[in-house]
Structure formats: C-alpha cells, structure tokens
Structure 1
C-alpha cells in the first residue's frame, strides 16, 4: 500500500512537472547577478584529473560538478572561479546531477546503478538507491516539484524518486521504474540510448534524448504510463545529444562531440519544436551538460577525445544565454 500511495503521489505531480524548471523574466536579484556576471570569469579551471560530466547551479551563484572518476563533487563560486573538492565518502562515479533549495544534490551514479542524494554542505550521503540491472548506466536527472527522474542509458526505462510535500526522501521500496513504450526504440544488446532529461514546458510530461533513434531524437514521455512519442523537430537530429536545459519554452541541447549547443523552441506541450540557433565556441572541448545563472550558460568540458590521466587538465566555460 505504501508503494502504491507513493507512486500515485509521484504521478499526480505530472501536471506541475515544469514548475521548478521554467524561468520567466529576470527579477531584480537575477538582473543584478546578470550584470555582475559581466565581470565574473567566463572560464575557470577544474581539478586536474577530475573528469567532469554533470553540472548544477544553485542555490546562489555556485556551481557543482560531478566526476566520472569518483564520487567527490567540486564546488565553484561563479563570481571568482575558485572552488573546492567536497568528498562524499564514495568512489562510485557521479554523472548527471541537480541541486535543490534544501542544499541537496541528486546524483545519477552511472555504472554504479545508484541514485544518490548528497548534502552539499557536508558531502554526507543522505540516501542511496540501487536500480536497474548489471548493465545499467544511470546517466542524467531532472528535479520536478514532486519527484526526481533519472535516465538509464542502457535500458528502456526511467526511474522516479517520489518526494514528500517538504522534499522528504522516500524509502527504497517506493522508487518507481517506468518502462518506456510507444514509439521508443532502444539500441540492441544494451547499447547506449537515452541521455538528457527535462520536463515539457507545460509540465505534463518528460522530454528524453534518444541518441540511437532515427539519427538522434527527442521523445515526449508520459510519466504516468511510460508512453513515448517522438517530438517533431523537423530536420533537427540529436546524434550527440547529452545534457539538456529547459528555460521557458527554450530547450538547450548539448551536442557534445559536435562542440555545440542546439537551441530549440518548443510548443507548450513539448510535442513539436524547431531549431532557433546553434551556440559554438572555440573553448568548447566536448562539453557534456549545461546549467544557467543570470544571462549565462555554464558548461563543463569533458574532453572525451583524450585519454584521462591524473594530470589531464579540465575546465568549465560560460557563454551568453
């Protein structure tokens, strides 16, 4: 019964999925931050050998980075570019991550098969949930008012972590495994398929990048049933689609190996959209994910084109939104 009630609570939040993500006109504080960002660094180093993948911004002008090389996080002041390592007590990788107003980081644990929640102030792991099968790769995460949703890059499913009215974390038995059906196509033999995830602008569904299907597609997923339908993006394809960020009706899609961010405009339901522009920058070195603060986008350079070593240099860059 507890599981049924938790699932019902998670699914009923579907109508408000986008409330925590869509961003309206900048308020006074955000405008001040945007003005200040003109004096803030637009590039800052990350620790040598860190192997960044995910990024989250906030609360406040701080960025958090996860590492493919271990569970530690890296916290950076966007105002100064200076940062510090936050150990979390695990060596399991941290791929996609998002932070919430409670000072928590929700982390996709990659091949560890973990959904982790970490106290960003202390690095203490608040909860760990193990999901999927032996070949599972938990890749990315999006926070909504009632849940955290995680993609599984090697299986046709997403995982839902229902949150209580005050953000309370659920017991392990209440984690939802939502099978993707409908028009969803999965790469054979547990091949790499899904990547970034975001809500639709109206908050009623989820948008999931599928790098395998039809040369790279975006699919709209019903969070109640798992039914997936292709989003009509015209001729736009997302073969290297990685992290995504929804701001209003604008969806930013990082095309990592192309060293580019494709900017799409979607309808309210997330059923169709079109390319607005492409952001490129000579400082891009295979960026993977994107977060926003003020009038800037921030991206970590994963440098997947080089063999990682303890001395490999990494950085993050900012570009105008």
Structure 2
C-alpha cells in the first residue's frame, strides 16, 4: 500500500461550546456497560477495510469502510452486526466517525474531501459537505460543533451545530503557531483537553511526531510537552478523564499519557500491546474496555481480506 496512505490513519467525544468559545461536556463513548462483557474479539465483513470506530451511549460500535463508505454496526454484547448505511461508493471512504446522543453520525470522507452526516435510525445520508479537503481524516463531535482534521492541509473544519444538534455551516480554521505541515500525512486524530478549553490534534511530523494543543477560536497551535515520547504513527485519540490513549497504528501499540488539566503537558504512564493487534487505527471505550479495529494496512486489500475488532482492558 502507498506509504502516505498507510501513515494516515487519527475518540470518544466531548464538547466545544462554539468555534469562538470555551469547550466543555461529553457526547458519549465512555458510558459504563451493564452486565457481563461481550466477546474480546469479533469479525467485521470480509473486504470491509475498517478505519474509524465510534461508540455512543448504548453498547453498539459503528465502523466506517475505506472501500466504499459503508457503515457497519456491531453489538458489543454478541459481536454480531450488519451494514446499516450504504456509502457513496468508491472514492467516498469513511475514515474517522463519531456519533452524537441524537442518533446522528458524523463522517470524515478522506480523499473525497467531504464531511457527511448519517441518520443512524434510517441509515440515510443526511448531508454532504464538499469542503475541498485533500484528506478529511478524523472528527470529534461536541454540543455546538463537529471538528474535522485534514491530513494534507494545515487547517481544521468546524461544522456548526444548532440548538438541537442540527448541522449548519462549515468554516475552515487555519492552523498557525507551532503547527508544522509536512509533505506527507500530518494531522490525524483529534480530542479535547481535560478541561475542555482546547483541541488536541496529532501531528506526525513536528518534533518527530506528537500532539498539538489548538485554540479553537484562533487556530494557534502549541506543542504539548510529552517528555521524550513521540507519536510518529499517532492515529486515534481517546480521552477518559485525564488519561489519553494514543494509538500508534504501525507500531501495534497504544501509548497512554496522564495529562494536566489544560492539556499542555502529558506524562507517559503505560503502553498497551497485544498479539492480536494487526495495525489498529482508532479506539473507543465501553465499560472497562477499549475497542480497536484492525486496519491491516500491511496487506493489499481484497474482497476476501479478513478484518476484525479486538478489545483490551483500560489502564
């Protein structure tokens, strides 16, 4: 697979109270599961080519297909699932995705340069925004905004949300300050700081790979102090309290950091590895577990390629 595509790959959600306001709240993905946990590994359809994962307030996980943009929903209790939304076809992948409490999915469209929303109940695509992005990569949904990264351009996209979560207009937010845009995939996963005052964005180039703290009002980015830790293959991010999980896809590991409240500094506290990892890309939480789709970027995808999801314990 093309190296730039393999590098690309950056969960649960929280809240930005408007593009020029403070961030706060949470929008699912960290709810506690009731009863016994389900399977710790389960299959996805052959040839699906998963990348993103989203878990909302019920024990179901949603996965997007790089092949054609389909959305697959799986029960975390049984591991069984089905395609609930047909994508727009080849050239319109679903990369990162998130769900809100109102039953809407927000999809990053990768090379299509699109942002899309899907009604979970009907499976219908509600809106398609052609923002001209070169690779719309990942997304985080908050009460008043959905924020998307672009891996090839130094900017974020803010999709405004109305009082009842209805999508509105899209505006770009240029990234300045310490942001360093490389010739390859640069921006990847996106999250919030623990105090919800800013955005955290993976930058796989600056300083050998790390995190940037981005002011949502101005776009000014400042490097997060991670000590000697680096994220050259940083992908999906997940913040639970002050614990940040950062998936390093091609390294088959999750690096775990304890952040300060403002998100300006992180201390490495653990590293999760598992022999079942086959280039996991993104991560979401349910109960005491983390769930990750194996993207298998080390093999050429075919209609018969096997894909699966693995669960590991949280730190």
Name the CA shift for 1:214/1:68 in 2 (closer, same or farther; >3 Å). same
- The structural deviation recorded for 1:291 is 0.3
**Contact 2:225 2:265 (8 Å CA) reproduced:** yes
Per-residue CA distance 1:189-235 (angstroms, 9 max, x = gap): xx210000001111110000000111101000000000000000000
- Structure 1 residue corresponding to 2:301, chosen from 308, 311, 316: 308
Aligned to 1:205: 198
The aligned residue for residue 270 of structure 1 is 263
1:320 aligns with 2:309: no
Q: Is residue 19 of structure 2 the alignment partner of residue 11 of structure 1?
A: yes
Q: Quote the offset at 1:276 in angstroms.
A: 0.8
TM-score, with normalisation over the residues of structure 2?
Answer: 0.91
Partner of 2:41: 43
Give the 3 Å change call, closer, same or farther, for CA 218–159 of structure 1 in structure 2: same
Find the aligned partners of 1:192 and 1:308 in 2 and give their Cα distance. 20
User: How many residue pairs get matched?
Assistant: 297
Q: Which is greater in Rg?
A: 1
Distance 1:207 1:89, change over 3 A: closer
Residue 175 of structure 2 corresponds to residue 180 of structure 1:
yes
Residue in 2 aligned with 1:128? 128
Q: How does 1:208-247 map to 2 (within 5 A)?
A: 208-247=201-240
Q: Measure, in 2, the Cα distance between the counterparts of 1:89 and 1:256.
A: 25
Aligned counterpart for 1:281 among listed residues 274, 298, 311: 274
Q: 1:93 is matched with which residue?
A: 93
**Matches of 1:9 and 1:144 in 2, distance apart?**
7
2:148 is matched with which residue: 129, 147, 150?
A: 150
| Structure 1 partner of 2:110 | 110
From the two aligned structures, give the one with the greater helix fraction.
1
Corresponding residue for 1:76? Answer: 74
Residue of structure 2 in register with 1:5 after alignment = none
Note closer, same or farther for the CA distance 1:20–1:59 as it changes in structure 2 (3 Å cut): closer
RMSD (Å), alpha carbons? 1.6
Per the normalisation by structure 1, the TM-score is: 0.89
Gaps of 5+ in 1: 1-7
* Contact kept? 1:21, 1:144, Cα under 8 Å: no
1:22 positional shift: 9.3
Q: Is the partner of 1:74 in helix, strand or coil?
A: strand
Q: Which residue of 2 aligns with 1:141?
A: 139
Contact 1:217 / 1:231 at 8 angstroms: preserved in 2? yes
